[in-house]
Amino acid sequence: MRRAYGLLGILFLVIIGGAFFALEHADAPTKEGETPQEADYSSTDETTMLKLTSPVFVDGGTIPAEYTCDGKRYLNPPLLISGVPEGTESLILVMDDPDIPESIKQQRGIEKFDHWVLYNIVPSTREINEEDRLGTTGLNSAGNAEYTGPCPPTDIEPTEHRYIFRLYAVTGTLNFIKAPTLDEVEIAAKGMMIESATLTARYKRP
């Protein structure tokens, strides 16, 4: 009988100890619909990522003719900047056309046509409006320090081109003896890069 009581006492202690261990290692409360694993590994807040958008076209959409050679050729579209990371000392904005025809590539010895080059933009900038004069302007493929709008040829395939806007957040500012090309700006910025964002527009002439 004493042995039976002894076994019951040991069993009681094991049960109490197990319950205490389970309480000590219980998962923190989770939101409705979440599993404990989901609660432990929360995802990064995407709102902190560098973003480039426009109020006049969506990413991958058609850029309004107003900002092309069929409208006001030298009028840049408005752009919005968000999520600039800490440590950014300047912003760089470029735009090029990677869809130029093979005949033009061979004729001019280029792989793309550069439309816009801006560097040393103040990092607090959140809007680039039409005809804003921000930062320092580099040379486009026409050899001019200005924005020039999309103007894809109508008689050579492809007749619809993509226009890639790229925004860079960098840890310094750039200095050149003479106005740089888009490639020169990107090469110089490579070692200072923090984060980048892209925005794509399309255009086919009527």
Domain edges within the chain = 2-40, 46-204
The model scores a pTM over 0.95: no
Burial of 201 (0-12, 13-18, 19+ CB in 10 A): buried
Q: How far is CA 128 from CA 104, 118, 185, in A?
A: 31, 11, 19
pLDDT for residue 45 is more than 90: no
Q: How far is CA 111 from CA 40, 72, 89, 98, 104, in A?
A: 48, 26, 30, 7, 9
Per-residue pLDDT, 118: 98
Q: How confident is the model at residue 51 (pLDDT cuts 50, 70, 90)?
A: very high
Q: What percent of the chain has pLDDT over 90?
A: 67
CATH of domain 46-204: 3.90.280.10
Residues 6+ apart with CB under 8 A from 194: 85, 87, 88, 169, 170, 171
With CA atoms as reference, report the closest residue to 93 among 136, 145, 130, 124: 136
